[in-house]
Structure 1
């Protein structure tokens, strides 16, 4: 007989084990999926952000995009040279460098579409042109012959002008120096005595394809002659008791000493020069004592301070050692400096000192004691300024 307690506690072997509670099993399954759901959400956010910032197809799209091209019509003036042996490829790169076209690919495509080539010469182009427009200009030899523009600021010496010309044209320094040795061909006035210093008028000039060193320099002398005629330079200089050459020399000194000053101060500097020249019994005893003339003799910038040894240079341009005007101009004066020389201010000043180099404030003194006061003011300014 079997034990009733065993039968009650131990089920038959074919009976299935009791299932776990439904809610507990569901809870375990949910907690296992949560990390995966969070990971997927974060990954999706990162992918979305990546597509917002970087287009993975951008590089591929670039392979099929049109080459960069400007809309045109362009601005400014570029005198572009096509050299012997140039082709579409070599020209396209230089056009990009000069800002004429947006890309050499756009230029090449436009040339191919027009079945066009290039020809040696100088051609008038503009910056930011449509490539097809640039091709149209360069493909026609009849467009060759544009003008280059050269600008010379006042205050330059002949030596400096020649250096700028040699740098910006196809001619050497020696070629310009050779042209300067033929003053009659340049149209220099007789009073210049063969020296072009002061007679090469500053300003802007257009240089054509067929220009030569002689024609370029002659154009500068011609402009000076035209301005001299407009000003009645010879007559007005005579009224003041000076020759044209002396007047050009005075104007060049005003330019060297007062190029950054107002027209009024330029006229005052001119008056000081006249006062020193015309009053040999004054404190200055007929000496101009202008250091920019010495700097010219030394081939130095007139704004650079000179040493005591340099101030004693043996030269007719040393106005500390030689009375009166130097032999001739020391630079190419501006119209403002020439007008100041022709229209000096009224006053008895013998000295001037620019006491503030940043503002150009300049004080004029009647005697040496007053000059020393202003010089001390300038020295004090230099002690606290890096402009000196």
Structure 2
């Protein structure tokens, strides 16, 4: 049997062998050099792409971790509530000052640890019309309250505490300073110093720098941090306002206030104020008998010698050379002798019609006062007062 004949291709290989011309040539050259056959280029490209992909994934992973680390607080901030659930615990005092905005109040609450954020308080306030009525003052709240809970506390007047100062009628300015200092805690020396700068207190020029009479008696709610000057300025403004309300022209303020202060110092009941004011005016308009233009008011002598607590005056007191001694000097004193209230200002602005020249309080305990048009009638009334004094020697 004849053996089959194997035909060779033009590349020298057998027909039944898969031959890549380029690869075969490269293999032949490699074998000729005694080296290893080179790997196909297709396989080398796949390995390089895999390496690049691994590096890229590693970079993405690192970048993602870094972004998560940086952005996590921001994301948590969006997810976490900016408000406490409440109701809170403990207690803390918070001061709301005059003129504080909602934002300012929120910041104060946040700083004190009452609310978690000022924004939470603003959000609660914006949805509640009562927020506009929050008054200056000191409030006691809890730590870590909900914003709505804090707002509810602030809008309730029962929770508001303010330093109240009541200045009664008829006090001298040094007595007013002492009362203010005791109630507010501001040192007395600061009121004395503030009084030396009357221009900053709004004092009318006619007062000639003297605060006496211009510290209106009333109950005041001063802001917690109000200075002595701010307090006095408020009181002066109140006095001017009361004079305007009584219809007193600016040019007559000083005179009216001086008459009103004498009225305040002489009577204790509202019923007699207009009549006392009329006695003063009648005496001022008469240069001859029965009074020769002298007011002869004990209250002005008390001011001159700075003595309190006596129903009358002594001979020594009436000999004082002070221009405020109306027994010695005719006409009105140089200025007010105390702080008159609303009733006395109105009486001085519109005295009760009448012809009286005299009056005397015959019973200082009850305030009973008798008026007279003649000296003889007045003398009889004075005897009643002297009888009272005999029974109250320690007060006359």
TM-score range, shorter chain: 0.5 to 0.7
In structure 2, distance between residues paired with 1:135 and 1:225: 32
In structure 2, distance between residues paired with 1:336 and 1:198: 14
SS in 2 for 1:137: strand
- Corresponding position: 1:371 with 2:378: yes
Superposition deviation, residue 138 in structure 1: 4.9
**What's the counterpart of residue 253 of structure 2?**
244
**What's the counterpart of residue 279 of structure 2?**
272
In structure 2, distance between residues paired with 1:114 and 1:197: 51
Superposition deviation, residue 145 in structure 1: 8.9
Superposition deviation, residue 207 in structure 1: 1.5
**What's the counterpart of residue 270 of structure 2?**
262
Corresponding residue to 2:208 among 183, 193, 197: 193
Change (3 A) 1:384 1:302: closer
* Mapped contact 1:171–1:213 kept (Cα < 8 A): yes
**What's the counterpart of residue 164 of structure 1?**
179
- Corresponding position: 1:339 with 2:346: yes
In structure 1, distance between residues paired with 2:306 and 2:219: 25
- Corresponding position: 1:153 with 2:168: yes
* Mapped contact 1:122–1:146 kept (Cα < 8 A): no
**What's the counterpart of residue 290 of structure 2?**
283
Superposition deviation, residue 117 in structure 1: 4.8
In structure 2, distance between residues paired with 1:140 and 1:292: 58
Q: 1:102-132 deviations in whole A, cap 9, x for unaligned?
A: xxxxxxxxxxx988455565599xxxxxxxx
**What's the counterpart of residue 137 of structure 1?**
141
Change (3 A) 1:380 1:371: same
**What's the counterpart of residue 77 of structure 2?**
none
Deviates more, 1:336-345 or 1:376-385: 376-385
* Mapped contact 2:92–2:141 kept (Cα < 8 A): no
Superposition deviation, residue 230 in structure 1: 2.0
Relative to the length of structure 1, the TM-score reads 0.61
**What's the counterpart of residue 248 of structure 2?**
233
Unaligned runs of at least 5 residues, structure 1: 1-112, 125-133
**What's the counterpart of residue 350 of structure 1?**
357
**What's the counterpart of residue 205 of structure 1?**
220
**What's the counterpart of residue 25 of structure 2?**
none
In the TM superposition, 1:209-224 aligns within 5 A as 209-224=224-239
Q: 1:40-76 deviations in whole A, cap 9, x for unaligned?
A: xxxxxxxxxxxxxxxxxxxxxxxxxxxxxxxxxxxxx
Relative to the length of structure 2, the TM-score reads 0.60
Change (3 A) 1:119 1:226: same
In structure 1, distance between residues paired with 2:352 and 2:362: 20
In structure 2, distance between residues paired with 1:136 and 1:290: 51
* Mapped contact 1:292–1:303 kept (Cα < 8 A): no
SS in 1 for 2:256: helix
In structure 2, distance between residues paired with 1:167 and 1:382: 34
Superposition deviation, residue 136 in structure 1: 6.8
Aligned-residue Cα RMSD (Å) equals 2.9
* Mapped contact 2:94–2:140 kept (Cα < 8 A): no
SS in 1 for 2:249: helix
Number of residue pairs aligned between Structure 1 and Structure 2: 259
SS in 1 for 2:384: helix
In structure 1, distance between residues paired with 2:186 and 2:221: 15
